[in-house]
């Protein structure tokens, strides 16, 4: 009698587990259960509809540094299925990928439908059964079988189970997995932007500064990179990275904290002071508003002069030293109180999920229940933006599928 693998979740990780298990073991019956009426819905919207499938990084240690949670776990798993394998897997199925300057990789068609169609074709080719509108409410493991209770009172039984249900925003939603004996790390949002309600800087919306350093006061969190001012606060790579690395710490502070911004990321306060001495001579007769010697966006320069109380008509040579000191402070340690967060619609993930000590990274099998596997975001692994989350979904899905196929 053929064995039956049930995969819970029709997302990237669930599909990758299902199609690879079915392909590698034609005797295996494979079923995907998806609670919603849509398959691969996050793949569809990801990367602005282009699907940022992976990252142009071919060094395992380097790649693993982009995961605020699960760094060691993914490092082990990447030895079995890495970025190079993702690229080859899709290329072998007619999907070419390309990389962009920042390392993000997309299908050359720039359409997530290319990835979706490839996975659907593969599922069809290997007879993967798909059941939509099928929400698993509870799982019992008895007599070496998994008995699944479905929301509409149906029961489905299988020999192997792969839970690829994605991240849940609330701890209570993991209850059915806890009942299987697993520990859940509290879910908290990662990859969000910072709100500055009513702050005057938001009138500069649309301004972006290439090289900033942003620190969070009272923590070790500090990141470098482009910062974007939006109509509600701060966004851009530097903010998203802080939100990912600080996901837990910032949640405990209820997303109320203060940031210090160095708008001139490449210069320390001391260097900026030295530069000011030079400008007093070199630009002596020029009006400070007209000469923005650091190449900052003009609107930001004018804003900082205003915040500092410097008369924009002042000539460089006449800048009073007290005002100069205040201006240097605002350029290098601009303080801003953050009050809340906004979901980053482009790429949002949940930190938290199944405790990694309870899963073997070499097989994705549970250490608590035999023949139970996990894949994707349901585990306590999450990456920063740039294709890292999908890579984890492909890696863990593949490893689970491959191991189930050989049981």
- Alpha-carbon gap, residue 407 to 401, rounded angstroms: 10
Q: Which residue has the tokens 């992976």?
A: 54
Q: Is 52 in the site for ligand FAD (CB under 6 A)?
A: yes
Sheet with 160-163: strands ordered across = 129-131, 29-33, 4-8, 160-163, 372-374
Q: Which stretch binds ligand FAD (CB under 6 A): 70-78, 242-250, 341-349, 361-369?
A: 341-349
Please tell me whether residue 398 binds ligand FAD under the rule CB under 6 A: no
With CB under 6 A as the contact rule, which of the stretches 224-232, 258-266, 318-326, 340-348 interacts with ligand FAD? 340-348
* Length of the chain as a residue count: 407
Q: Cβ 339 to ligand FAD, closest distance in Å?
A: 24
Contact segment (CB under 6 A) with ligand FAD among 29-37, 235-243, 250-258, 288-296 equals 29-37
As a whole number of angstroms, the distance between CA 375 and CA 353 comes to 11
Question: What is the distance between the terminal CA atoms of the chain, rounded to a whole angstrom?
Answer: 14
Residue number with CB closer to ligand FAD (138 or 268): 138
d(CA 129, CA 15): 11
Which of 25, 31, 46, 193 touches ligand FAD by CB under 6 A? Answer: 46
Least distance between ligand FAD and beta carbon 89 (Å): 15
Cα 395 to chain centroid distance, Å, stands at 16
Our CB check for ligand FAD shows the closer of 107 and 387 to be: 387
Is 376 a binding residue for ligand FAD by CB under 6 A? The answer is yes
Query: Of the two residues 97 and 304, which places its CB atom closer to ligand FAD in the complex?
Result: 97
How far, CA to CA in Å, does 147 sit from each of 183, 195, 366? 20, 45, 17
Q: By the 8 A CB rule, do 263 and 209 touch? A: yes
For 8, 11, 288, the CA distances from 305, given in Å and listed in that order, are 57, 50, 9
Member of 42, 66, 341, 402 binding ligand FAD (CB under 6 A): 42
Indicate whether 33 belongs to the interface with ligand FAD (CB under 6 A): yes
Site string for ligand FAD, 161-180 (x = CB under 6 A): ---xxx--------------
CB of 18 to ligand FAD, least distance (A): 11
Residue nearer to ligand FAD on the CB measure, 302 or 346: 346
User: Does the footprint of ligand FAD cover residue 352 (CB under 6 A)?
Assistant: no
CA distances from 302 to 73, 234, 334 (A): 48, 18, 14
Q: Residue 179 half-sphere exposure, CB side, CA atoms within 13 Å?
A: 12
- Shortest gap between Cβ of 324 and ligand FAD (angstroms)? 44
- For residue 380, state whether it binds ligand FAD (rule: CB under 6 A): no
**Which run of H or of E encompasses 197?**
none
Token readout for 269 is: 């306060």
- Using rule CB under 6 A, residue 103 touches ligand FAD: no
Is 362 a binding residue for ligand FAD by CB under 6 A? The answer is no
Q: What is the 3-state secondary structure (H, E, C) of 105-136?
A: EEECCCCHHHHHHHHHHHHHHCCCEEECCCCE
Integer-rounded Cα radius of gyration of the chain: 25
In angstroms, give the least distance from the CB of 382 to ligand FAD: 7
Instruction: Provide the binding-site residues for ligand FAD, judged by CB under 6 A.
Output: 8-14, 33-36, 41-42, 45-47, 52, 135-136, 164-166, 345-349, 376-378, 387-390, 393
């Amino acid at each position: 009698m053929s064995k039956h693998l049930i995969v819970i979740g029709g997302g990237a990780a669930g599909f990758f587990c299902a199609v690879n298990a079915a392909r590698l073991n034609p005797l295996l019956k494979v079923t995907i259960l998806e609670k919603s009426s849509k398959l691969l819905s996050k793949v569809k919207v990801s990367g602005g509809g282009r699907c940022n499938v992976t990252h142009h990084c071919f060094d395992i240690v380097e790649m693993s540094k982009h995961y605020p949670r699960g760094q060691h776990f993914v490092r082990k798993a990447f030895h079995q299925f890495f970025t190079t394998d993702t690229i080859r897997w899709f290329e072998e199925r007619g999907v070419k990928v390309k990389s962009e300057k920042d390392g993000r990789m997309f299908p050359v068609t720039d359409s997530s439908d290319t990835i979706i169609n490839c996975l659907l074709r593969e599922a069809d080719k290997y007879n993967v059964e798909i059941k939509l509108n099928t929400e698993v409410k509870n799982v019992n493991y008895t007599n070496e079988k998994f008995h699944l209770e479905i929301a509409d009172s149906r029961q489905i039984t299988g020999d192997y189970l792969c839970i690829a249900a994605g991240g849940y925003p609330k701890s209570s939603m993991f209850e059915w997995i806890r009942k299987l004996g697993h520990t859940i790390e509290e879910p908290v949002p990662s990859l969000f932007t910072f709100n500055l309600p009513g702050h005057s800087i938001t009138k500069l919306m649309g301004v972006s500064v290439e090289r900033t350093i942003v620190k969070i006061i009272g923590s070790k969190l500090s990141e470098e990179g482009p910062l974007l001012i939006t109509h509600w606060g701060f966004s851009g790579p530097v903010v998203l990275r802080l939100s990912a690395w600080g996901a837990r710490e910032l949640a405990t502070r209820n997303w109320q904290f203060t940031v210090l911004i160095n708008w001139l990321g490449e210069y320390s306060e001391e260097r900026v002071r030295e530069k000011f001495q030079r400008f007093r001579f070199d630009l002596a007769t020029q009006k400070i508003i007209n000469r923005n010697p650091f190449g900052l966006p003009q609107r930001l320069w004018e804003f900082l002069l205003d915040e500092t109380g410097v008369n924009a008509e002042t000539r460089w040579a006449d800048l009073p030293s007290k005002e100069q000191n205040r201006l240097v402070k605002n350029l290098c340690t601009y303080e801003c109180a953050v009050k809340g967060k906004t979901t980053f619609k482009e790429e949002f993930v949940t930190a938290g999920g199944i405790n990694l000590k309870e899963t073997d990274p070499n097989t994705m099998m549970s250490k608590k229940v035999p023949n139970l596997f996990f894949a994707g975001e349901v585990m306590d692994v999450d990456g920063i933006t740039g294709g890292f989350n999908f890579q984890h979904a492909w890696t863990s899905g593949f490893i689970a599928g491959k191991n189930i196929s050989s049981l």
